[in-house]
Amino acid sequence: MRYAILILAAAAASAQHSSTTITNPYNTAKDRVEGAATYRSQCGACHGPDAKGGSGGPDLSRGQYKHAVSEEAMFKVITKGVPGTSMPGYSFDGKLAWQLVAYLRGLNQEQGGGVGDAGRGASLFASLRCAGCHSGKAPNLADASQRMTRAELRLALVDPNASVSAEYWQWKWKLRDGATVSGRRLNEDTYSIQVMLANGRLQTLLKHDVAASEDARKSPMPSFAGKVPDGDIDSLVAYLVSLRRAN
Ligand code: HEC
Ligand code: HEC
């Protein structure tokens, strides 16, 4: 934490004497995903949902900037605004602002070439048996690709546990009689919990019978990091992006 504070102080100082180069301390895949979420809630109304520009603000996706010529300058634009224009300054803490920088810089890099081969991605999709899960219990990937940026799709493949929606959390219940039950929690009322077991069957647990419970916010999906080369991850992402509907 101390490290981050020092960096922010340095960023402020070098805004006056731009002698040091500041590197973004919040630039992991997870930061980019969180930056994307902040972007959607705070910035999309002016700059467009994909940062491709809107009625209220310019395109931020292509890496061609008037003011935000470096990461540090972009940090300053976000926190101070652009005087004399409608671009407001945001009193975010440093982390949120750097995550936005990470997200926008990630988009800029996406615009470059060499981002995987959708055709190869389609055959990897078959050979890695993605459809084994994604044609039934797991999310519909055409919908996911519509909603998710390339960075988010990539993260879903290399670190599925980074963000798992609650309906996929794996729970474990210990019953008073010593048995354990694990699965997804579908529903809960005053007296009972509805569970979907791994084999797809439904089971109702009476709360009265439950001695302890534990949730693991882990994805049932395996990580593909290290299992397939980086270029293949890019190709899978390219294939997923190709599933996006034209509109
Ligand atoms: C009310 C509309 C509005 C909102 C909301 C807004 N912006 Fe802007 N933004 C603008 C306008 C207009 C400009 C162009 C300023 C100019 O003419 O130089 C701009 C410029 C920028 C630039 C500099 C672009 C360049 O060419 O250097 C960045 C970066 C930026 N905005 C990021 C953000 C981020 C991140 C958010 C959300 C936290 C945000 N903006 C929210 C209107 C907005
Ligand atoms: C063992 C089953 C399983 C396999 C195999 C599997 N997935 Fe998944 N995948 C899931 C589940 C369950 C989720 C939802 C939970 C989560 O967000 O991690 C998911 C989530 C995703 C998401 C994020 C979707 C969203 O809505 O957030 C993407 C993208 C994805 N998978 C792509 C793939 C690709 C591509 C492959 C093959 C390379 C693959 N998956 C293999 C089970 C699987």
What is d(CA 44, CA 90) in angstroms, rounded to the nearest whole number?
14
Radius of gyration, CA atoms only, the chain: 22
* Ligand 2 pocket test, candidate residues 129, 159, 184, 221, most atoms within 8 A of CB: 221
CB 128 within 8 A of CB 228: yes
Report pLDDT for 244: 79
C-alpha dihedral, 141 to 147 to 149 to 154, nearest 10°: -30
Burial group, residue 38, by CB count within 10 angstroms (0-12, 13-18, 19+): middle
Q: Nearest residue CA, atom 1 of ligand 2? A: 221
Ligand 1 midpoint to CA 74 (Å) = 10
Q: 113-152 burial by CB neighbour count: b if 16+ within 10 A, else e?
A: eebbbbebbbebbeebebeeebeeebeebeebbeebbbbb
Ligand 2 midpoint to CA 215 (Å) = 19
**Residue-level pLDDT, tens digit, the chain, 247 residues:** 444 444 444 444 444 443 456 778 888 878 888 998 999 999 999 999 889 898 899 999 877 788 888 888 899 999 999 999 999 999 988 899 999 998 988 876 654 334 578 888 999 999 999 988 898 777 889 888 888 888 888 889 988 888 887 778 889 999 999 999 999 888 889 999 999 887 888 999 999 999 999 887 788 889 998 888 888 888 899 899 888 776 4
The structure tokens listed for 145 are: 């690709």
Q: Nearest residue CA, atom 36 of ligand 1? A: 43
Residue 10: CB within 6 Å of ligand 1? no
Report pLDDT for 203: 93
Long-range pairs for 61-65 at CB < 8 Å and ≥24 separation? 61/104, 61/107, 61/108, 61/111, 62/108, 62/111, 63/105, 63/108, 63/109, 63/111
Give the CB-side neighbour count of residue 68, counting CA atoms within 13 A: 26
Q: Nearest Cα to 23, choosing from 75, 96, 78, 90?
A: 75
Report pLDDT for 224: 92
What is d(CA 137, CA 195) in angstroms, rounded to the nearest whole number?
14
Ligand 2 midpoint to CA 68 (Å) = 35
The structure tokens listed for 92 are: 């975010």
CB 196 within 8 A of CB 183: yes
Residue 46: CB within 6 Å of ligand 1? yes
What is d(CA 37, CA 44) in angstroms, rounded to the nearest whole number?
10
* Ligand 2 pocket test, candidate residues 123, 129, 133, 140, most atoms within 8 A of CB: 133
Q: Which ligand is nearest to the CA of 53?
A: 1
Q: Nearest residue CA, atom 40 of ligand 2? A: 130
How many Å is the maximal CA-CA distance in the chain?
70
Residue 65: CB within 6 Å of ligand 1? yes
Which atom of ligand 1 is least distant from the CA of 82? 15
What is d(CA 30, CA 102) in angstroms, rounded to the nearest whole number?
10
Residue 77: CB within 6 Å of ligand 1? yes
Burial group, residue 200, by CB count within 10 angstroms (0-12, 13-18, 19+): exposed
Residue 228: CB within 6 Å of ligand 1? no
Q: Which ligand is nearest to the CA of 35?
A: 1
